[in-house]
Amino acid sequence: MCTLGKSIALKSEVLGEERGIIIGEALGEKRGITIGEEIANRSAAINLYQMKLPIEKIAFAVNESIETVRKWLTEASNTNKS
């Protein structure tokens, strides 16, 4: 391969690596935000339940399904028993 060809191949490799890093960071950031939102919603659901709000209203407030809220509350209850 000539010097120009090597240079182009190296530049393409570097650009590909940089693109991969950017994509990886974006995916990691999105995943982190999603996890943070779930933790906040779970905490809010538990607090609202302790305030005696019905599960249906809690689900609406945290924009989750009733099944998900029930699961969170069950998990929180099991954690507190340990």
Structural domain spans, the chain? 3-81
Residue 74 is predicted with a pLDDT of 95
* Residue range 48-66: mean pLDDT, rounded: 97
Q: Are 13 and 7 in contact (CB under 8 A)?
A: no
The token pair that represents 50 in the structure block? 């302790």
Q: Is 52 helix (H, G, I), strand (E, B) or coil?
A: coil
Q: Which amino acid is at 12?
A: S
Q: Are 59 and 48 in contact (CB under 8 A)?
A: no
Separation of alpha carbons 10 and 65, rounded Å: 50
pLDDT of residue 4 exceeding 70, the answer is no
Model confidence over 12-54: pLDDT tens digits? Answer: 888 888 999 999 999 999 999 999 999 999 999 999 999 999 9
Q: How far is CA 6 from CA 14, 15, 18, 20, 23, in A?
A: 12, 14, 18, 21, 26
